[in-house]
Each structure stands twice: as structure tokens, then as C-alpha cells.
A and B are shown apart, each in its own frame.
Chain A
Amino acid sequence: MFKKVFGGNAEQKVIDSIKQHMQILYSASECFKKGLQEGNKAQMYCVADLEREGDSVRREIISMIYEGAFLPFLRTNICRFVEIVDEAFDVLKDTAFEFEYLGPNLDQEIREDCIQIAAINQQMCDMLMIAFDTLFSKGDLREKTLAIRIYEKKVDDMKFDLIGRLRNKEVKTFWEGRTLSDFISYLTHISDVIEDASDYLHIINLSMR
């Protein structure tokens, strides 16, 4: 429907760029997960690189929209969606940054859970792309956003469990505790941001009716 009503060249360019933006987010989350699995700090630099790439795509998208793509009443919501996806990049970058300081100090038991959360975050990025595609097909967007909410709930449950265990963990310095706490907060916040983005897809869908 999206494409049918607003299917001009400028609109198509924006749609392609948004897909590219989300694809970069997926790559960044994949790269993050790999770095975490391998316990490799150097691997994490790709997250910052991809975040910069994502930033530049976001600027292009916003410019194209305000140069005239899409009807004005749709522009705000589309821009907001793109901004939220960009926020996911920022949180992912912050998580990778904290990991650089944490590295080998991450307990084996906590590490396993963190890898699982990183894997769910990656699956959520993929589901967000599927949900975005649904705007142009006959697919059921509600079904996709529900899947994203299920993933988010899983991360939420794991977060509370992790925090409960971390409270009993002894830390030697202020920064050791602070870094670990920030790492877990950022890692578990990514799913919230992706859920927010999927909510915006729902709003965009409604505004086109």
C-alpha cells in the first residue's frame, strides 16, 4: 500500500536507504555478537565503523525526505522511525565501548547470557527489516510487531535475572562495577529501542490508512 500510494522515485530512494540503514544495523549487531563470542575487543571496532556508516545513511534519508519525498503529514513519522533506528546504533556502540574496558573480566556465567541477549538483539534487527517490508506487501504487520515484543520480553526477563545475580557479585573498584553495570544496561536497552522502532512502523501504517 505504501508503495502504491507514494511510489515515486524520491520515495523509492528513501525506502531503499531505510532498508540499507537497517541492514547496517543488522551487520553491526552480528559483528557485536561475534566479538562477544570470541571475547575479542578488536572485533568490536567494526561496531563503531558501522555506526558511522549508519549515521551517514541517516543524514541522507532525512535530507531526501525534506527535499520533498513523501507527503508532509508522513514525513515526521518516517523521520522519527529513522531516528529511533539510529538510536539503536548509538546504544549498540555504547555497549561495544564498555566491552572494550570489560573484556576478559566478564564472568563465564554472565557471558553466556550476554551472548544470548546479543543473539536476540540480532534476530530483532532482522524481524524489524521483515516488519518494514510488510508495509509494502500484503503481510500482517501486527504479527511481526508481536514477534518483536516476544523477543523484547525475553531480553527483559534475562535482564532482571542478570541484575539479580550482579547484585551479589563482588567488585573491587568503582569503575569495575560501573563498567559492568553500564554494559548490561546498554546491552539490554537495545531491544527496547528496536521495540520502539517497531511501534513507529505501526504508527506509519495507521497514518497511511
Chain B
Amino acid sequence: MKVDEIMTKKLEIISAEASIYDAIERMIDKRIRSLLVKPGDAHDVYGVITVRDIVHKALGKNLDLNKMKVSEIMSKPVISVDKGVDVEHAIVLMTKSNITRVFVNEGREIVGIVSLLDVMSAALINRAREGHGV
């Protein structure tokens, strides 16, 4: 099974210039744990800010969430896999990098995200379908 068959296509994107508080609001509103940070210009690459970044790098240090920018604590570049690779490859990458989600790219563009839950759900559905075609 390929990653583009199980990925979530809906991506929440935030600007690197936005405040950490904006990022927190977006995550809470959308009930998600990471935001894709859009590149600053054509030569720049995508970044990612996660709940873990916010807790360890901002909240844990008691910093001003309104003054701090996303760019100060985000990770860059994002770890991504090509949309045509097998899910097994994404699992290996997640295990190696100790991450719970991996972005999916098509060329330079990020087109989706695959989480551990997506992988587990797909594996269980596959298991249920075993020997029944489709």
C-alpha cells in the first residue's frame, strides 16, 4: 500500500512569522498536534511546529507566547516521504526519526500527512480485507 492511499490531505498551514499563541489557538481549534510552516520564499523549505516544540521550547521555559514567533522554535526542513512510496517505508522512517507523523511530498510540494494512527487503521482494514479482493 502506498502512502498517498492513507494520507490526510487536509493540512493546516501557518506562517513562520505568526506568534506561538496563534499556533496554539489553531491547534486547539482544529484538535491537531502539528502545523506545517510555509516557506518564506521560493528558495525556502517547509517547516513544522508541534505541540512538543511548544511545550518544551516555550511553555516549559515560561517565555512570552505572544512575542515569540513560530520560526524561533519550529523544526526545518520537515521529514517527508514521496507520495508513491510504500507505507512500510514511512513506518521505518518514523521509527528511525522517533516521530509520530511524516509529511508526504509530491516534488517540492507537501501534499499530505501520515500519522501513526493512519498507519494502524490502514493495517487493520487491510487485515480485515485479506482474501476478499478490492
Contacts and interface: CB of A to CB of B under 8 A. Distances in A.
Interface of A: 123, 126-127, 130, 133, 143-144, 146-147, 150-151, 154, 161
A133 B130 CA distance: 13
Contacts of A161: 10
A143 B10 contact: no
Closest 4 CB pairs of A and B: A147-B128, A150-B121, A147-B125, A130-B132
Given A150-B121, A161-B10, A143 B134 contact: no
Interface residues of B, number: 9
Nearest to B127: A143
Q: What secondary structure prevails in chain A residues at the interface with B?
A: helix
B129 A127 contact: yes
Interface string B26-62: 0000000000000000000000000000000000000
Interface string B118-129: 000100110111
B83 to A, nearest CB: 16
Given A126-B134, A146-B128, A150-B124, 6 more contacts: A123-B134, A130-B129, A130-B132, A143-B127, A147-B129, A150-B125
A151 B6 CA distance: 12
B93 to A, nearest CB: 23
Contacts of A133: 132
A151 B125 CA distance: 9
Interface in B1-36: 10
B129 A146 contact: no
A147 B124 contact: yes
Nearest to B131: A139
A123 B127 CA distance: 14
Contacts of B128: 127, 130, 143-144, 146-147
B8 to A, nearest CB: 9
A53 B134 CA distance: 24
Q: Which has the most chain A C-beta neighbours within 10 Å: B124, B128, B132, B134?
A: B128
